[in-house]
Amino acid sequence: MARIERFAVSHSRKIDSADRYVGEAARAGVILQSAQSGAGRHVVIDGRTLLNFGSCSYMGLQDLPELRQGAHRAIDDYGTQFHFSRAYLQCPLYAELDEQLRIMAGRPVVVAASTSLAHLAALPVLIRDTDHMLIDQFAHASLHTAVQLLPKVPLEIVRHNQMQVLEAKLEALRNAPGNVWYIADGLYSMLGDFAPFSRLKELLDRFPKLRLYLDDAHSISWLGTYGRGPALEHFHDDPRVVVAMSLNKAFSAAGGVLAVPSEETADRIRRCGGPMLFSGPIQPPMLGAAVASARLHLSSKLPDLQSELRGRLEACAASVRKHGLELANEELTPIFQVPCDSPRIVFDVAEELRERGFYCCVCVFPAVPMNRPGLRFTITRHNTLEDIEAFVPKLAECVSLAHRKRASDDPLAAQAMG
Amino acid sequence: MTRQLATRADPEERDAGDIDALMSAFYEVISFEEGDAPDWERMAGLFSSHAQITRLTPEGIDYLDLSSFRHMAEELIELGAFTSFFEYEVARRLDRFGGVLHIASAYETRISPQAVDYIERGINSLQLVREEGQWRILSLCWDTAARFDPQESYISELGGKLHGQN
Residues A265 and A346 in one domain: no
In a domain, A11, yes or no: no
pLDDT number for residue B2 = 42
Q: Specify the DSSP element, H or E, that contains B29.
A: helix B19-30
pLDDT of residue B165: 41
Q: Residue A237 in contact with residue A261, Cβ under 8 Å?
A: no
Domain assignment present for A4: no
pLDDT band at B18 (very low <50, low <70, confident <90, very high): confident
Residues A290 and A270 in one domain: yes
Q: Which residue, of A298, A323, A358, is where some domain finishes?
A: A298
In A90-240 the beta strands, taken as DSSP E runs, fall at 109-112, 132-136, 155-158, 180-185, 210-215
- b/e per residue, A191-219, with b = 16+ CB within 10 A? bbbbbebeebeebbeebebbbbbbbbbbb
Predicted confidence at residue A37, as pLDDT, reads: 82
Q: Is B88 helix (H, G, I), strand (E, B) or coil?
A: strand
A114 lies in the same domain as A171: yes
Q: How far is Cα A312 from Cα A309, in angstroms, rounded to an integer? A: 5
Chain-centroid distance of CA B76 in Å reads 17
Distance, in Å, from the CA atom of A21 to the CA atom of B166, rounded to the nearest integer, reads: 38
> Quick one: pLDDT at residue B160?
47
Q: Say yes or no to pLDDT of B153 above 60.
A: no
Cβ–Cβ below 8 Å for B79 and A4: no
SS3 A408: helix
What per-residue confidence (pLDDT) applies to B164? Answer: 39
Separation of alpha carbons A330 and A101, rounded Å: 31
pTM of the model: 0.90
- A228 and A281 fall within a common domain: yes
Neighbouring residues of A260: CB distance < 8 A, sequence distance ≥ 6: A107, A108, A109, A110, A122, A242, A266, A269
Based on the fold, state whether residues A175 and A73 are members of the same structural domain. Answer: yes
Q: Is B120 helix (H, G, I), strand (E, B) or coil?
A: strand
CATH number at residue A133: 3.40.640.10
CATH code: domain of residue A401: 3.90.1150.10
CATH class of B11-157: alpha beta
Give residue limits of the domains in chain B: 11-157
As a dihedral over the C-alpha atoms of residue A288, residue A294, residue A296, residue A302, rounded to 10 degrees, the angle is 150
From the list A108, A113, A109, the residue with the least C-alpha distance to A142 is: A113
Is residue A104 located within the same domain as residue A228? yes
Contact assignment for A406 to B35 by CB distance below 8 Å: no
Contacts of A34 (CB under 8 A, 6+ apart): A45
Asked if residue A415 belongs to a domain, the reply is: no
pLDDT along chain A (418 residues), means of 10: 49 85 88 84 93 96 96 97 91 97 98 98 98 97 96 95 97 96 97 96 98 98 98 96 98 98 97 92 97 98 98 98 95 97 95 96 92 96 97 97 87 55
A5 within some domain: no
Q: Which among A3, A8, A372 has CB closest to B75?
A: A8
Residue A9 lies in a domain: no
Which residue, among B2, B116, B121, B149, would best test binding to A if mutated, counting the most A CBs under 10 Å from its CB?
B116
Instruction: State which of A298, A327, A346 marks the end of a domain.
Output: A298
Domain shared by A236 and A375, yes or no: no
What pLDDT score was predicted for residue A211? 98
| Closest by CA position to A377, among listed A310, A321, A328 | A328
Q: Is B79 exposed, middle or buried (0-12, 13-18, 19+ CB in 10 A)?
A: middle
Q: Give the pLDDT of residue A4.
A: 39
ipTM: 0.82
Helix ranges, A111-196 (H): 115-126, 141-147, 163-172
Residues A101, A42 within the same domain: no
CA dihedral B79, A196, A177, A172 (to 10 degrees): -70
pLDDT averaged over every residue in chain B: 83
Range of the structural domain that residue A199 is part of? 65-298
Examine the domain organization and report whether A103 and A43 are in the same domain: no
Reduced to 3 states (helix: H, G, I; strand: E, B; else coil), residue B69 is helix
* C-alpha dihedral sign at A410, A412, A417, B4: negative
Predicted local confidence at residue B149, as pLDDT: 65
Interface test with B, best of A147, A341, A345 (most B CBs within 10 A): A341
Nearest chain A residue (CA) to B120: A342
Residue A412 is predicted with a pLDDT of 67
pLDDT above 70 for B151:
no
Query: Are A284 and A359 members of one domain?
Result: no
SS3 assignment, position B105: strand
Tell me how many domains chain A contains: 2
Q: Hey, what's the torsion of the CAs at A19, A24, A25, A26, to 10 degrees?
A: 80
A35 and A113 belong to one structural domain? no
Q: Which residue, of A255, A278, A298, is where some domain finishes?
A: A298
Are A211 and A230 members of one domain?
Answer: yes
| Residues B68, A6: C-beta atoms closer than 8 Å | yes
Output helix, strand, coil percentages for chain A, rounded to the nearest 5: 45, 15, 40
